[in-house]
Amino acid sequence: MYLTLDEERALEGEYGETVRKSMEILVALGKIYSADRLIEVESVQISGISYRNIGDPGIEWLESLNARVRVPTLINPAGMDIHRWQDMGITEEFARKQMRILNALKKIGAKPELTCTPYYILKPSKGDHLAWSESSAVIYANSVIGARTNREGGPSAIASALTGKTPRYGMHIRENRAPDVIVDVNLKLKSHEYSLLGYMIGEEVGDRIPLFIMKGRPSEEDMKSLGAGLASTGGIPMFHVKDVTPESNEFDMPKERMVVENLENPQGCEDPDLIAIGCPHLSGRELKKISNLLNRKVKKELWIFTSRYVRNRIPEVIRKIEMSGARVYTDTCMVVSPATERFGCVMVNSGKALCYLPKLSGLRVKFGSLEECVEEAMK
């Protein structure tokens, strides 16, 4: 793999031990995937930073880092709302260790924006090279925006942040972004069914890139839901929707074809004691929709997740939501926080949450539309 003179100096330790180790990670990754060189990235997003996931060894490694990021770097949701963790039922010990993780990341220069929707804060342009980690953010960046990023692991994302580089392979190469299979959707989807479609098709396509042919034009939020579901049950970093996604008409049509005639709602639990919305984090439009649906007090726990960036820009909407008794949390989500573990049955409108909550928290899950989730909370 070709390295510039500056990259060779970094690899030899001229810029410090942390940068040297970071360059070692990137070079090793490049060799594994036959990258010809390193390329510069516009931004980085680091995932896997909940104390629930990385534990004490993760804290020690992050606190050992001695360098500063070279490109804008955001952080994925943590295991708690950093200001309202007691509200969520998080223990003091967990909160203390989670804050050590976040302080270590802030020390290297990462921005304290804890979100799985970094594109609402640092929106890339088509063709930009990124080093993002969160699966739903990666697939959104590639598919909806037309930026280029592989799904980075936590260490490789941090290595990219500290060097401003990533190996050129995978989704950074145009030819690898071509669709492999047509998915012909022979029904007009309601908004929540995009998430269900992604959940169902992800396992079918595996690591192949699908090209969806749909009836109607999905919104950006629909695309976000579709991608999050696909990335949860499948291993794909990208999809196309004909005449919608930036590159959908730039490649030859695949020969393989799948047809979707109907969607089945997975059978889950019947009586949820928690309704959780916001996986991925909600946009301002989605929050406004919820505020309009909440026409009376909630009678069940309704937790809503968004980024602090989005929340701070619509205070009146947030105030109206919380007047109903619902809680709007930031910095975290129902999937990465241990706070959901005390509940028995959780209702969600997210294919990603439907996939991960049983696996990570052992919870029973009920799936419904956004409207059905809000109505359930008010019953």
pLDDT at 360 over 90: no
Residues with Cβ within 8 Å of residue 169, at least 6 apart in sequence: 30, 33, 34, 35, 150
Question: Under a CB-based contact definition with an 8 Å cutoff, are residues 202 and 233 in contact?
Answer: yes
User: What is the crossing angle of helices 220-233 and 193-205, to 10°?
Assistant: 30
Lowest mean pLDDT among 51-55, 266-270, 288-292, 332-336: 266-270
274-378 matches 5-174 in CATH topology: yes
Sign of CA dihedral 134, 363, 102, 25: negative
Q: What pLDDT shows up at residue 267?
A: 73
Going by DSSP bridges, is the β-strand pair 210-215/240-241 parallel, antiparallel, or unpaired? parallel
Quick one: average pLDDT of 284-288? 98
pLDDT at 133 over 80: yes
**Structure tokens, 194:** 């995009």
Q: What pLDDT shows up at residue 65?
A: 98
Q: With bands split at pLDDT 50, 70 and 90, how would you rate the model's confidence at 79?
A: very high
**For the residues of 97-151, what is the DSSP string, one character each?**
HHHHHHHHHHHTT--S-B-S-GGGTS---TT-B-EE--HHHHHHIIIII--B--B
Right CATH for 5-174 from 1.10.3470, 3.30.499, 1.25.40, 3.30.450: 3.30.499
Q: What pLDDT shows up at residue 221?
A: 96
pLDDT in tens, 172-226: 999 999 999 999 999 999 999 999 999 999 999 999 999 999 999 999 999 999 9
Which phi-psi region, left, alpha or beta, contains residue 345 (left: φ > 0; alpha: ψ -120 to 50)? beta
- Structural domain boundaries of the chain? 5-174, 178-260, 274-378
Global pTM reads 0.96
Question: What is the CATH T-level fold of the domain 274-378, as seen in this structure?
Answer: Aconitase; domain 3 (3.30.499)
pLDDT in tens, 87-120: 999 999 999 999 999 999 999 999 989 999 999 9
- Going by C-alpha positions, the residue among 278, 271, 294, 273 that lies closest to residue 340 is 273
Q: What pLDDT shows up at residue 272?
A: 97
Question: What is the SS3 string spanning 276-287?
Answer: EEEEEEECHHHH
- Going by C-alpha positions, the residue among 212, 30, 176, 49 that lies closest to residue 116 is 49
Q: What pLDDT shows up at residue 265?
A: 84
State the chain's mean pLDDT as an integer: 96
